[in-house]
Amino acid sequence: MTKNIILFLSTFIFLGCTSDKKSKPDHSKTNSTVNKLPNNVDLKFETFLKHFNSDSLFQISRIDFPLKGKELDEEDGKEITVNKSEFRKLDFNEPQKDSSDTNRYELKIKVDGNKAIVETRGIDNGIYIDTYFEKKEGKWKLVTWIDSST
Protein backbone atom coordinates (compact mmCIF):
# COMPACT_ATOMS: atom_id res chain seq x y z
CA MET A 1 0.00 0.00 0.00
CA THR A 2 1.45 3.36 -0.93
CA LYS A 3 2.16 6.09 1.58
CA ASN A 4 -0.67 8.26 0.21
CA ILE A 5 -3.25 5.51 0.48
CA ILE A 6 -2.18 4.74 4.05
CA LEU A 7 -2.30 8.44 4.94
CA PHE A 8 -5.76 8.81 3.40
CA LEU A 9 -7.14 5.70 5.12
CA SER A 10 -5.68 6.80 8.44
CA THR A 11 -7.17 10.27 8.05
CA PHE A 12 -10.50 8.74 7.06
CA ILE A 13 -10.58 6.59 10.20
CA PHE A 14 -9.10 9.34 12.35
CA LEU A 15 -11.73 11.84 11.34
CA GLY A 16 -14.58 9.37 11.23
CA CYS A 17 -15.64 11.09 8.07
CA THR A 18 -17.99 9.71 5.47
CA SER A 19 -16.63 11.59 2.50
CA ASP A 20 -13.96 10.15 0.26
CA LYS A 21 -13.13 13.54 -1.19
CA LYS A 22 -9.40 14.10 -0.84
CA SER A 23 -8.89 17.83 -1.19
CA LYS A 24 -7.31 20.72 0.54
CA PRO A 25 -9.69 22.60 2.87
CA ASP A 26 -11.11 25.83 1.50
CA HIS A 27 -10.18 28.26 4.24
CA SER A 28 -11.83 31.18 2.46
CA LYS A 29 -15.24 29.73 3.35
CA THR A 30 -14.35 28.94 6.95
CA ASN A 31 -16.07 30.90 9.68
CA SER A 32 -12.83 31.86 11.41
CA THR A 33 -12.81 32.82 15.03
CA VAL A 34 -9.02 33.18 15.32
CA ASN A 35 -9.37 36.92 15.89
CA LYS A 36 -12.33 36.39 18.27
CA LEU A 37 -10.64 33.97 20.66
CA PRO A 38 -11.21 34.49 24.35
CA ASN A 39 -8.14 35.55 26.32
CA ASN A 40 -8.32 32.32 28.28
CA VAL A 41 -8.33 29.93 25.29
CA ASP A 42 -5.14 28.24 26.56
CA LEU A 43 -5.92 28.15 30.28
CA LYS A 44 -7.87 24.90 30.10
CA PHE A 45 -7.23 22.23 27.49
CA GLU A 46 -10.96 21.65 27.02
CA THR A 47 -11.46 25.35 26.08
CA PHE A 48 -8.61 25.14 23.60
CA LEU A 49 -9.97 21.90 22.11
CA LYS A 50 -13.41 23.46 21.60
CA HIS A 51 -11.86 26.19 19.43
CA PHE A 52 -9.47 23.74 17.78
CA ASN A 53 -12.47 21.65 16.68
CA SER A 54 -14.50 24.55 15.34
CA ASP A 55 -12.00 26.62 13.37
CA SER A 56 -9.64 25.28 10.69
CA LEU A 57 -7.52 28.45 10.63
CA PHE A 58 -7.05 28.29 14.39
CA GLN A 59 -6.24 24.60 14.04
CA ILE A 60 -3.53 25.26 11.47
CA SER A 61 -2.10 28.04 13.64
CA ARG A 62 -1.64 25.50 16.44
CA ILE A 63 0.38 22.97 14.44
CA ASP A 64 4.05 23.22 13.54
CA PHE A 65 4.36 21.75 10.06
CA PRO A 66 5.47 19.34 8.85
CA LEU A 67 3.48 17.29 11.36
CA LYS A 68 4.94 13.86 12.05
CA GLY A 69 3.04 10.88 13.36
CA LYS A 70 3.30 7.12 13.49
CA GLU A 71 1.17 4.34 12.15
CA LEU A 72 1.80 1.05 13.87
CA ASP A 73 0.74 -2.36 12.69
CA GLU A 74 1.53 -5.91 13.74
CA GLU A 75 4.72 -6.02 11.68
CA ASP A 76 6.28 -2.58 12.08
CA GLY A 77 5.67 1.13 12.38
CA LYS A 78 5.80 3.81 9.74
CA GLU A 79 6.45 7.47 10.27
CA ILE A 80 4.00 9.68 8.41
CA THR A 81 4.71 13.32 7.59
CA VAL A 82 1.85 15.69 6.81
CA ASN A 83 2.66 19.00 5.19
CA LYS A 84 0.43 22.03 5.55
CA SER A 85 -0.86 21.63 1.98
CA GLU A 86 -1.98 18.03 2.74
CA PHE A 87 -3.59 18.77 6.08
CA ARG A 88 -7.31 18.19 6.58
CA LYS A 89 -9.26 19.66 9.47
CA LEU A 90 -9.49 17.36 12.47
CA ASP A 91 -12.57 16.96 14.63
CA PHE A 92 -12.40 15.77 18.21
CA ASN A 93 -16.09 16.19 18.92
CA GLU A 94 -18.02 13.19 20.14
CA PRO A 95 -19.31 11.13 17.19
CA GLN A 96 -22.91 11.31 16.09
CA LYS A 97 -25.19 8.76 17.74
CA ASP A 98 -26.26 7.45 14.34
CA SER A 99 -22.72 6.72 13.15
CA SER A 100 -22.33 3.47 11.30
CA ASP A 101 -20.94 0.50 13.20
CA THR A 102 -17.66 0.75 11.30
CA ASN A 103 -17.06 4.36 12.39
CA ARG A 104 -18.25 4.26 16.00
CA TYR A 105 -15.76 5.46 18.57
CA GLU A 106 -15.38 7.12 21.94
CA LEU A 107 -13.06 9.95 22.94
CA LYS A 108 -11.21 10.22 26.21
CA ILE A 109 -9.18 13.31 27.13
CA LYS A 110 -6.26 13.01 29.52
CA VAL A 111 -4.51 16.17 30.69
CA ASP A 112 -1.32 16.13 32.75
CA GLY A 113 0.09 19.61 33.28
CA ASN A 114 1.31 20.94 29.93
CA LYS A 115 0.59 17.71 28.04
CA ALA A 116 -2.69 16.25 26.85
CA ILE A 117 -3.75 13.15 24.97
CA VAL A 118 -6.99 12.65 23.09
CA GLU A 119 -7.63 8.92 22.94
CA THR A 120 -9.88 7.76 20.13
CA ARG A 121 -11.11 4.23 20.75
CA GLY A 122 -13.31 2.39 18.32
CA ILE A 123 -16.27 0.38 19.43
CA ASP A 124 -15.85 -3.10 17.94
CA ASN A 125 -14.03 -1.77 14.88
CA GLY A 126 -10.27 -1.57 15.58
CA ILE A 127 -9.90 2.23 15.75
CA TYR A 128 -7.13 3.03 18.26
CA ILE A 129 -5.52 6.47 17.91
CA ASP A 130 -3.73 8.68 20.43
CA THR A 131 -3.30 12.35 19.53
CA TYR A 132 -0.77 14.31 21.55
CA PHE A 133 -0.92 17.99 22.44
CA GLU A 134 1.60 20.07 24.34
CA LYS A 135 1.50 23.57 25.78
CA LYS A 136 4.44 25.47 24.28
CA GLU A 137 5.16 29.08 25.18
CA GLY A 138 1.74 29.28 26.82
CA LYS A 139 -0.18 27.92 23.79
CA TRP A 140 -1.61 24.45 23.24
CA LYS A 141 -0.36 22.80 20.06
CA LEU A 142 -0.92 19.48 18.32
CA VAL A 143 2.49 17.77 18.28
CA THR A 144 1.98 14.21 16.98
CA TRP A 145 -0.25 11.16 16.81
CA ILE A 146 0.12 7.39 17.00
CA ASP A 147 -2.36 5.28 15.07
CA SER A 148 -2.38 1.66 16.27
CA SER A 149 -5.66 0.82 14.56
CA THR A 150 -6.09 -2.70 13.30
Write a three-state SS string for 51-63: HHHHCHHHHHHCE
Is the residue at 32 inside a domain? no
Is the residue at 89 inside a domain? no
What would the pLDDT profile of 88-136 be if each residue is shown by its tens digit?
A: 999 898 776 655 667 788 999 999 999 999 999 998 889 999 999 999 9
pTM recorded for the entire structure: 0.74
C-alpha–C-alpha distance, residues 101 and 125, integer Å: 7
Is the residue at 46 inside a domain? yes
Q: Give the pLDDT mean for 10-27.
A: 40
Is the residue at 92 inside a domain? no
Per the DSSP assignment, residues forming a β-bridge with 71 are 78, 147
Expressed as residue numbers, the domain containing 48 is 1-15+41-84+104-150
Q: CA-CA-CA-CA torsion for 43, 49, 53, 56, nearest 10 degrees?
A: 50
The domain spanning residue 149 has which CATH number? 3.10.450.410
pLDDT reading at 21 higher than 70: no
Dihedral of alpha carbons 105, 106, 112, 113, sign: positive
Q: Give yes or no for a contact between 80 and 3, defined as CB atoms under 8 angstroms apart.
A: yes
C-alpha–C-alpha distance, residues 54 and 45, integer Å: 14
C-alpha–C-alpha distance, residues 144 and 150, integer Å: 19
Is the residue at 139 inside a domain? yes
